[in-house]
Amino acid sequence: MSLRFVFGRSGHGKSTYCFNEIKKGIEKKEGNRFILLVPEYLTFSSENTLLHTVSRDEDFRGEVLSFRTLGNRIFTEVGGLSHRHINSSGRSMLIFNILSSLSDSLKVFSKSSAKMGFIPDISNILKEFKRFDIESSEIEDVASSINSETLKGKLQDISKILDEFNERLHGGYVDEEDEIQLLARKIPESSYLSGAEVFVDGFEGMNPIQLKVLEEIIKKAKRVTVTITSDGLSRSSTNWDLFTSGKDFEENLLRIAANNGVSYEKPINLNDANYANRFSDSTELAHLEKYAFKFPFVRYKDETKDIEVFTASNLYSEVKSAAKSIVKMVRENGYRYRDIVVATRNMDRYESLIDGIFSDYNIPLYIDKKKVATENPIVVLLLSALEVQRRRWSYEGVFTYLKSGLIDIDGEDINLLENYVVENGIKGKRWFKPFETYSSIRIDNTDNERENELLERINLTREKVITPLNNFHNSLKNSKTVRDMCRTVYDFLLSIGVDSKISSMIDEFNNLGDILLSREYSQVFDILIDILDQTVEIMGDDSMKVSEFVELLSVGFSECCIASVPSVIDSVRVANVDRMRNQSAKVLFILGVNDGVFPAPIVDEGIINDIERSEIKLAGLKMDLDTREKSFNEQFLIYSALTSASEKLRLSYPISDHEGKTLRQSIIIHRVKKVFPRIKQESDLIDLKDDDIENITSISPTFNSLVLKIRKYNDTGYIDPLWLDVFRWFKRNEDYSDKINSILEGLLYTNQVKKVPRDKIRQLYSGNRFSVSQLETYSKCPYSYFVKYGLKAKERREYGFKALEIGNFMHRVLEDFSGVIKKEAEDIREIEKDWIQEAVGVIVDNMLEALPQYVLNSSARYKFLSIRLKRLIVNAIWVITEHIKAGEFEAVGYEEGFGPHDRFPPIVIELEDGEVVELVGKIDRLDEATIDGSKYIRIVDYKSSKRKVSLSDIYYGLQMQLLVYLDAILESYEKKDTPVAPGGIFYFKLDEPLLSTDGNITPKEAQEKMLEEFRMEGLLLKDMNLALAMDSSLTSKSKIVPVSIKKDGEFSATSNAVSLEDFNILRSYVKGLISKLCSRMLSGEIEINPYKDKDESPCEWCEYSPICQFDISFKDNSYNITKSISKEAALDKIKEEVEMDGK
């Protein structure tokens, strides 16, 4: 038995030396076994290399093994397979169960133990102690000698958890660390390694239990050869150099050899020998390997051809540039895809981009990354089915389950149910009662025939959803042990046909040629069953709450990963930098060489921080590296990555991320540029090769480039003749001919819409009767009106009591209150606040009692809101009564409609072509007063938010409502020959204002401030007697209407009052404006042309923006600019328009 080292820096042929030695040994046919021991992730590539190195091995004497597969060989011979292996999922579930039982007895980790994120942390520290062969008794001894109470408590908690973990585990399972320790104990009993030559390659170091195994191998084997990545035996003068980990590994093995009397053979130093190495064909890469991390270094004088730095404008262009380079290398330089590796230090950032862009370029690729099992629909289905009960049948829980794609319910039925659940806030016990009303947020509880049909269909879907889930949850609840729960889960999956669905999906993926997805789904069901099996084996007879069982399975699945292998041999390998250590490639692309990413910062210290680690080490326990030492290892990782290419190396970095935030280049780029001052550098920041033939690569990206060229041609009128040839090629191609035609049509595309034929528009608008709010919508944006009232598109309503619902509710209560006044013949001037409060209370209570499904009945929160709304409405009505008491106007009508079947007739307007339209509406309140023998009317409209009457908005057609209401009443009186004049038009805000004061105020002062806050906004007739009839206490600024009086008794300039002539002009103007709007509307004009006043536009809150996609950068998209103008200027313009129309 002997030990031999093979030294060599990266790329100097250590692995090649081992393979060649194995080949020579096998060719001698002396009968002994040759074993190559490598890390698990290197087994596949090493087996492949051995297969190609050794041409014939009839006796199968050459093998590539990892610690795990070596264990299988030894255990098969001498025993040790009676215990089942527990994987990371089983381990995490066991730790979860242990933490649940020990949480009360833990000193430091008691609160943390309940958090899901704590399980990986405690799992890692347990692994570390087991890998360093530390027993719980040793941890206790160290804890007793530690002064820090916090650290002492941590160690005592860890010791307690480790004890419990080992006790439960060793009943029938072993974990990875136990297997390695068992392997070390079993090797002396085995003859498998006797006389064997063992080559240990690919390890930069080993933990203590691995060293134990290697010690037994050294004692048993004929010779053990270990490769060490190092520049030799000498250490640097500092505590750390690039090869520290390798040299530590070497010293540990020398100590083992000395302790066991193993002879030490002369080492093989490949650094100084004339062995062929990785960089034989590239002096540049050889120079990089030698000087990239050496101080002082030697500059490379020539321009580089094999090393390149690429600066990208963003991540997308970085990946696209790499794809183009790969296609060119394969097409023009004779490379195979398998010769190329793409690496990154941040796979999460690049994975989807690489997958999508490389697919466009038809580059076969294998992404060397394990997929998290919780992303698979099968696992999503199970976990969501379990979560539904725990989350009280919430929307998220139920529809995550339904949208897994594995439920036998029609997709349209699921969508209908989803819309209903969202609108009505269905959760908890409401799922188990038939849905009785179509909408619980409407104040009107009357469902139409179509809604009743939909409701019946929705209830049928509800039954299909709740029946299997309810049976499943009841079975879980009745399960006495974890074993019963696991059996229930398995039965549930079979009952909904998951097994047959998976089989069908696997067959479908195979038929489509998607081997990766086929393998994934094949693995997932096995993983699921394995987790259930491990749960039963470890804690099957335990009792557990359903909620704990759900958390237990969630923990298990969160640790599961789905492995994949390349679907084709000739493919580009994409890997994280730490997954490609010691693997060579002819060409290497390293993406994302940015500061803070490459090298990656080491910030996570774990549950034992660096200071605590130092204390533990001083107390005599050897532990893993701290963050400082890990950061040194990160440098070695970068060195290994940079030196893994044998022919070409391309470093690239983006200067901005996907959000446009600036990214800086890594210090590695700076270092490489120093070593290679004339390094080849390229960038896409300035497109110097806009029409270069290099942009013509694979079909799909070339077509995308052609689209950009055509678009540019459309703007500039020029296109390079090269791209004309490309255009002709695609035009002749059957697969792309139609796409080319679509592109040409797209050049003329505009989202602007054409006029709709008159006959069709009439069918959509259902007649010639319109409300004022409809006309205002059309004036704001014709297309928005068309979608809302023509296509009748509706946004999905969400459960809640928002501004619209609050406004409808308050209007309904006010309408009912006016009915009470009429019925009881009460004089509004005589009623008191207490009477108002009682009447409103009765109205609201009766309303809620009649609507049991109404949103305000759904929870204590909403019931409290109804109490608040009562108070708000009571205050509003009290203010209304105070307004009436303060003047001579009387309320003569509430919710007065004007239309064919209302008290007042509709407004009839004849259009230019002779066609007649009717305007209908409903007036919240109509007031009358007789002053000096003349009758005046006042229109009041209730609003839930503050609003003023603006003559500027009236001019632009954005505010016509109150004037139309006024006109409807005046016209009606005029037809009866009853003289009447406009008194005013006003908005009254239904709100609960907050009163601000400098100190304490009396109740009377509070009432005065309340009246000020509730002052009506609007426009009144410029008549002092009329103003006093509205506010008899008017002396300066009115608290009721928007006027104020100067000292000379005249209206101030800020008063919102106009003459009778101006009122009539406004009426006439609005009528003319409505006539024009109706003519445009009925002629089919529906252009996308929203108004804009400064920064205000209806697009900001329009629910139809995703439909029209209005964008001023699009052709024919522009705003209808409405510049706010003063009251005087607006009135002048209105007069001009009326005069013009009169001519």
| Binding site, annotated residues | 781, 1099, 1102, 1108
CA atoms of 471 and 467, how far apart (whole Å): 6
CA atoms of 1097 and 790, how far apart (whole Å): 22
CA atoms of 329 and 326, how far apart (whole Å): 5
Give residue for tokens 């009186």: 973
Beta strand 371-372 with 561-562 is: antiparallel
- Quick one: DSSP state of residue 791? S
Contact 876, 836 (CB under 8 A): no
Nearest to 530 by CA among 173, 69, 167: 173
CA atoms of 679 and 673, how far apart (whole Å): 7
* Backbone dihedral angles phi then psi of residue 653, each to the nearest 5 degrees: -150, 145
Can you spell out the DSSP letters for 493-559?
Answer: HHHTTHHHHHHHHHHHHHHHT-HHHHHHHHHHHHHHHHHHHHHHHHHTT----HHHHHHHHHHHHHT
Can you spell out the DSSP letters for 185-245?
Answer: HHGGG-STTTT-EEEE-S-S---HHHHHHHHHHHHHSSEEEEEEESS-SPPPSSS--TTHH
Nearest to 880 by CA among 823, 829, 807, 946: 829
Give residue for tokens 């049991």: 852
Helix axes 482-495, 546-558, angle to 10 degrees: 70
Can you spell out the DSSP letters for 628-678?
Answer: HHHHHHHHHHHHHHHT-EEEEEEEEEESB-TT--B-PBPHHHHHHHHH-TT
Which SS3 state, helix, strand or coil, does residue 1059 take?
coil
Nearest to 523 by CA among 565, 466, 575: 565
Contact 187, 213 (CB under 8 A): yes
**858 Cβ partners below 8 Å, 6+ apart?**
425, 440
Q: What is the dihedral of CA 1016, 1017, 1022, 1026, to 10 degrees?
A: -10
What is the distance of C-alpha 47 from the center of its chain?
41
The dihedral through the CA atoms of 499, 505, 507, 510 has a sign that is negative
In angstroms, what CA-CA distances link 634 with 230, 577, 637, 902, 1098?
A: 16, 10, 5, 83, 55
Structure tokens at 125: 């520290």
Q: Determine the length of the chain.
A: 1143
785, containing H or E segment: helix 782-785
- Quick one: DSSP state of residue 1111? -
User: First-to-last CA distance in the chain?
Assistant: 118
Alpha carbons within 13 angstroms on the beta-carbon side of residue 11 total: 24
Beta bridge partners of 1058: 1021
**1043 Cβ partners below 8 Å, 6+ apart?**
1020, 1027, 1034, 1037, 1051, 1052, 1055, 1056, 1057
Residue ranges for the binding site for [4Fe-4S] cluster? 781, 1099, 1102, 1108
**56 Cβ partners below 8 Å, 6+ apart?**
none
Structure tokens at 835: 């009477």
What is the distance of C-alpha 15 from the center of its chain?
44
- In one-letter notation, the amino acid at residue 872 is L
898, containing H or E segment: strand 890-898
* Backbone dihedral angles phi then psi of residue 37, each to the nearest 5 degrees: -95, 120
